[in-house]
């Protein structure tokens, strides 16, 4: 039962972040948004409409890291119907937030966030450190990799996350490999979540989403090695279908590229980041291939926004158990926001502004 619920949550989360339909949702015209605000009753999202067909699979990895086996289940993403949420109808006043950068250099930033709720002052410290940075510039491609540590502390609570972000920019495509790691102790990661995103420069009429669940512990380098095998399997699968009608041929090329870059990341972690190449107890990943740089940009920054909200929610919920009563109120309301389209729409609007500023849209 727990496995089934977790699978549904992973699929639903990925659909909200990566599918065309949610990207259409978060770019609603201002007039329509205004009319919706006037109603102040419900907010609707429609996940059944998509401009392009979506090929999707749920892949379970079992066995041993050096000889993994795979269970591949096809998924249909065309049966999702509309969903709605009721307006919370609550407002909170007397809240002041101040942000101060205490220290900053090329590889480290320390930020203090002070927020006042009903004359009670709370403080959070955000530390962001670049632990390793790699870049490679050639006539064919620009490649960068960053491995970072983020710490959020306050009221006796500490939350740590590591992240690895690898980006390849070529004329034909852009590729991002992003992994978030939550440590269990000094020698082990409790969990990881990886997003691999391939965006073709030319329009591709077929999108793909591959959801991967690891039912075995792997090291960080083994994570990328196994995912490279998954990419190879999907390249072969889409190549087979592409030989029939040509629809999936571009996906086969995309996943072969993903395979090559995942192997390179595995080598970098193995050779250059041995101290962070630790065992991960549970891992999940999403591999996607599509086109339209604007939509991909919005999806990326909307996802980062949701991650940030989830981290803040976790901190506030932890502070609740330390006796911070207002933190409990915000914890509960942020949870309600995250499980309904409210936060997703807000993050979508923020992402839209960022991508317009970056001239991606």
Average pLDDT, the chain: 74
Confidence of residue 331 (pLDDT cuts 50, 70, 90): confident
CA–CA distance, 6 with 26 (Å, rounded to integer): 25
Q: Looking at per-residue confidence, does 310 or 145 come out higher?
A: 145
Which residue carries 């289940």 as its tokens?
73
Buried b (16+ CB within 10 A) or exposed e, 302-312: bbebbbebebb
* CA pair distance 94, 115, nearest whole angstrom: 10
Average confidence (pLDDT) over 243-249: 68
Q: What is the pLDDT of residues 249-285, one digit of tens each?
A: 888 989 999 999 999 999 999 999 999 999 999 999 9
Residues 260/253, Cβ–Cβ less than 8 Å: no
Q: What sign results for the dihedral spanned by CA atoms 322, 326, 332, 334?
A: negative
Range 69-78 contact pairs with CB under 8 angstroms and sequence separation of 24 or more: 70/229, 70/230, 70/233, 72/233, 72/237, 75/11, 75/209, 75/211, 77/15, 77/19, 77/47, 77/50, 77/209, 78/48, 78/50, 78/54
- Confidence band of 179 (pLDDT split at 50, 70, 90): very high
In this predicted structure, the answer to whether residue 180 has a pLDDT above a threshold of 60 is yes
Q: How confident is the model at residue 325 (pLDDT cuts 50, 70, 90)?
A: low
Q: Helical H runs in the chain?
A: 2-18, 20-25, 30-39, 220-245, 249-272, 293-320, 325-338, 341-357
Range with lowest mean pLDDT among 114-123, 158-167, 218-227 = 114-123
Between CA 152 and CA 121 the distance in angstroms is 17
Q: For position 31, what pLDDT does the model report?
A: 30
pLDDT in tens, 53-85: 567 899 999 999 989 999 999 876 544 333 333
Please name every residue paired with 95 in a beta bridge, in sequence order, or none if there are none. Answer: 117
Q: What predicted TM-score, i.e. pTM, was given to this entire model?
A: 0.70
């Amino acid at each position: 039962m727990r496995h089934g619920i977790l699978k549904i949550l992973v699929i639903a989360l990925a659909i909200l972040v990566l599918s065309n339909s949610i990207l259409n949702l978060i770019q609603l015209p201002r007039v329509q948004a205004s009319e919706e605000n006037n109603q102040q009753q419900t907010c609707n999202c429609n996940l059944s409409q998509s401009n392009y067909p979506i090929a999707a699979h749920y892949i379970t990895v079992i066995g041993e890291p050096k000889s993994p086996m795979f269970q591949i289940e096809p998924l249909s993403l065309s049966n999702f119907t509309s969903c709605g949420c009721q307006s919370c109808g609550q407002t909170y006043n007397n809240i002041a937030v101040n942000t101060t950068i205490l220290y900053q250099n090329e590889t480290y930033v320390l930020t203090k966030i002070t927020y006042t709720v009903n004359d009670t002052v709370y403080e959070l410290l955000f530390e962001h450190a670049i632990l390793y940075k790699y870049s490679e510039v050639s006539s064919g491609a620009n490649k960068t990799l960053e491995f970072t540590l983020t710490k959020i502390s306050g009221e006796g609570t500490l939350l740590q996350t590591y992240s690895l972000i690898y980006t390849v920019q070529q004329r034909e495509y852009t590729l991002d490999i992003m992994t978030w790691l939550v440590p269990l102790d000094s020698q082990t990661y409790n969990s990881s979540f990886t997003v691999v995103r391939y965006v073709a420069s030319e329009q591709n009429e077929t999108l793909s989403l591959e959801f991967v669940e690891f039912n075995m512990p792997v090291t960080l380098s083994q994570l990328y090695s196994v995912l490279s095998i998954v990419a190879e399997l999907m390249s072969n699968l889409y190549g087979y279908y592409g030989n029939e009608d040509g629809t999936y041929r571009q996906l086969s090329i995309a996943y072969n590229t993903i395979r090559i870059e995942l192997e390179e990341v595995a080598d970098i972690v193995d050779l250059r980041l041995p101290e962070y190449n630790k065992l991960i107890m549970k891992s999940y990943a999403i591999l996607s291939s599509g086109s339209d740089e604007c939509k991909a940009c919005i999806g990326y920054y909307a996802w980062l926004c949701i991650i940030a909200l989830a981290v803040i929610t976790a901190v506030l919920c932890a502070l609740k158990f330390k006796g911070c009563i207002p933190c409990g109120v915000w914890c509960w309301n942020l949870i309600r926001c995250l499980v309904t389209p409210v936060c997703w729409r807000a993050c979508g609007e923020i992402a839209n502004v960022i991508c317009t500023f970056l001239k991606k849209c």
